[in-house]
Amino acid sequence: MNDEISRILKLLEDGKVTADEAERLIRTITQSQEAGTERTRRSEGDACEPGAVWKALRRTLRAVARAQRRSAWWQYFWTARRAAEARRKRAAEMTVAQRVEFLLVECGLADRDDLSPAAKLDGDLGCSCMSRQLLRYALEDEFGITITNDEANGFATVADVVACVEERVGAQPSPEPESADGPQESPAPA
């Protein structure tokens, strides 16, 4: 294997080029080598098979591409799973207002010191139209609700955001009891 193909495979391994780009580069290199080999074969009468090398490289590149896709999928799955666990933990430990404030800070839309229920999104926090959309998507993801563009653009203060979320969260049906086999026992009096 020549040095150029080795360098391309190293770039692929380091993630600096994609499998498709590496395949295209190697194809270009082998075609230029084949052209030179063809001239040499015609002059020397040699019968070498450059197609076999190309097939082996192609199989290797496809295997690397499959491994990259599998790795990307597992990274996505693991990240999504960890995010869902963090959301469940926040839901158990924090109020709706605390979770909204957490999202504003986590998304980089406000500093913890600037937050108060009366803080204006436009004036105090400097939220642009794009920031409002980021907040909208973060709220939808965190609480499992739907907020329209008009509603997101209508938020004036942090209290408005909290009120909208509480209204939506309160409107959702409550989860069914985990054990529906028999009658639920009430707690014993103290």
pLDDT at 91: 87
pLDDT at 41: 54
Residue 126 falls in which region: left (phi positive, over 0), alpha (psi -120 to 50) or beta: left
d(CA 72, CA 63): 14
Q: Is 176 helix (H, G, I), strand (E, B) or coil?
A: coil
| Residue 97 neighbours by CB distance under 10 Å | 17
pLDDT of 185 > 60? The answer is no
Q: What is the DSSP string of 36-88?
A: HHHHHHHHH-----HHHHHHHHHHHHHHHHHHHHHHHHHHHHHHHHHHHHHHH
pLDDT tens digits for 56-68?
888 888 888 887 8
How sure is the predictor about 188, in pLDDT bands with cuts at 50, 70 and 90?
very low
* Multiple choice CATH, 94-171, 1.10.730.10, 1.10.3720.10, 1.10.1200.10, 3.40.710.10: 1.10.1200.10
pLDDT tens digits for 145-159?
999 988 888 889 999
pLDDT of 39 > 70? The answer is no
How sure is the predictor about 165, in pLDDT bands with cuts at 50, 70 and 90?
very high
| Residue 54 neighbours by CB distance under 10 Å | 17
pLDDT of 172 > 60? The answer is no
pLDDT at 175: 47
Q: How far is CA 17 from the centre of its chain?
A: 20
pLDDT of 180 > 70? The answer is no
pLDDT at 49: 64
Bridge partner list, 157: 120
How sure is the predictor about 160, in pLDDT bands with cuts at 50, 70 and 90?
very high
Most confident segment among 11-15, 32-36, 87-91: 87-91
pLDDT of 95 > 50? The answer is yes
Listed by start position, the domains of the chain span: 3-77, 94-171
CB 6, CB 16: distance < 8 Å: no
Tokens representing 84 are 């869902």
pLDDT of 181 > 70? The answer is no
pLDDT of 187 > 70? The answer is no
Residue identified by tokens 């469940």 is 88
Residue identified by tokens 């869902």 is 84
CB 30, CB 54: distance < 8 Å: yes
Residue identified by tokens 């692929």 is 12
pLDDT at 178: 43
The pLDDT mean for the chain works out to 78
Residues 6+ apart with CB under 8 A from 111: 105
pLDDT at 170: 80
